[in-house]
Amino acid sequence: MHADEMPEQGEIVMATVTKVMDHGAYVSLDEYDGMQGFLHISEIAPGWIRSINKHVRNGEKKVLLVKKVNPRRGDIDLSLKQISKDQKKQKIREVKKYEKGNTLMQSVREKAGLSEDDISDVEDKIYSKFDSVYDAFIEVGRRGGSSVGGLGIDGGIVSMMEEVASKIKLPSVEIRGVMDIASSRPDGVEVIRKILLDAIPDRNGSSTENAEITYLGAPKYRLAVTSEDFKSAEKVLKPIVTEIQSKIEKKKGTFSFTREESKKTREN
């Protein structure tokens, strides 16, 4: 990722353990073309370490903090114990995103017969707008080639990006909850059914095709909304809940809504 560069102090990197010794371990920095760094035993874990092999092993991937860099000598001192769980998770997500983007771009290269220089040029243009190549493919998958319009990418390459992106399972989120609905009217079942059916089709020109109501057994119904992010999903869910509640209560029925745990889909 960063050829001919050294990491900066305070940077979080992904590394592969290459040699474990009594006083620490040597690692190669995955994002810096295998550049070597050193992880001293005092920076592996808090407290006294009886066996270093319980914490680091040859070939193991580790998320590390760059503690000190000496460009003149080429020394890079690293720390494992100063990495939090959140920092570790975030770094792993970043690396996976990079790898996915690289795989997708290589597919474009093969389909379009491009050279590595061509791909490098396309990636430079993508980074002028997106945080990652993968993010660009996700936007192309959702909104078409216009997502990378204005970046100076050749139209034929954009078409190949659209073709590759069309095969991606786009990441999405699901928010949901259980509605407890009851009506004492003689035709209460029909009233509830009609209100629920009317709540899902297009409303005021805004599509709610990603909303679904499932019957769980009287008086419970699950409302689930899927969208590209939590904010968009909330914008769909809240009006539906409000509309159903309003109509039910106008018909002298009762309504309550209990949120369930939200979900995020896995990305390809």
Asked if CATH classification 2.40.50.140 holds for the domain at 12-82, the reply, yes or no, is yes
Residues 177, 97: Cα–Cα separation, whole Å: 31
Average pLDDT, integer, range 119-134 = 94
For residue 201, whether the previous peptide bond is cis, meaning omega lies within 30 degrees of 0, is: no
Residues 54, 56: Cα–Cα separation, whole Å: 6
CA distances, 187 to each of 119, 193, 197, 207, 220 (Å) = 65, 10, 16, 30, 17
Give me the torsion for CA of 120, 121, 122, 125, rounded to 10°: 120
Q: What is the DSSP letter of 266?
A: P
> What pLDDT does 265 receive?
66
| pLDDT 10s digits, 105-124 | 999 999 889 999 999 999 99
> What pLDDT does 5 receive?
84
> What pLDDT does 118 receive?
93
Task: Inform me whether the pLDDT recorded for 209 exceeds 60.
Answer: no
Give the residue, 96 or 208, on which the prediction is more confident.
96
Task: Please state the domain extents for the chain.
Answer: 12-82, 87-165, 173-264
SS3 state at 73: coil
> What pLDDT does 239 receive?
92
Superfamily of domain 173-264 in CATH is EIF_2_alpha (3.30.70.1130)
Rounded to 5°, the CA angle 40-76-62 comes to 60
- Residues in Cβ contact with 34 at an 8 Å cutoff, skipping those fewer than 6 apart: 28
Task: Inform me whether the pLDDT recorded for 48 exceeds 60.
Answer: yes
Rounded to 5°, the CA angle 111-116-120 comes to 105
pLDDT band at 249 (very low <50, low <70, confident <90, very high): very high
> What pLDDT does 170 receive?
82
Does the model's pTM come out above 0.85?
Answer: no
pLDDT band at 227 (very low <50, low <70, confident <90, very high): confident
Please name the residue that has the structure tokens 């009287």: 218
| pLDDT 10s digits, 152-164 | 999 999 999 999 9
SS3 state at 221: strand
For the chain, the average pLDDT equals 90
Q: Supply the CATH classification number for the domain 87-165.
A: 1.10.150.190
CA distances, 145 to each of 101, 113, 152, 156, 182 (Å) = 16, 19, 12, 10, 48
> What pLDDT does 207 receive?
44
> What pLDDT does 19 receive?
96
Which of 26-35, 58-67, 184-193, 203-212 comes out lowest in average pLDDT? 203-212
pLDDT band at 169 (very low <50, low <70, confident <90, very high): confident
Backbone Cα Rg of the chain: 26
Which of 144-153, 160-169, 207-216 comes out lowest in average pLDDT? 207-216
Average pLDDT, integer, range 167-174 = 86
DSSP letters spanning 152-181: ---HHHHHHHHHHHTTS----EEEEEEEEE
Average pLDDT, integer, range 238-255 = 94
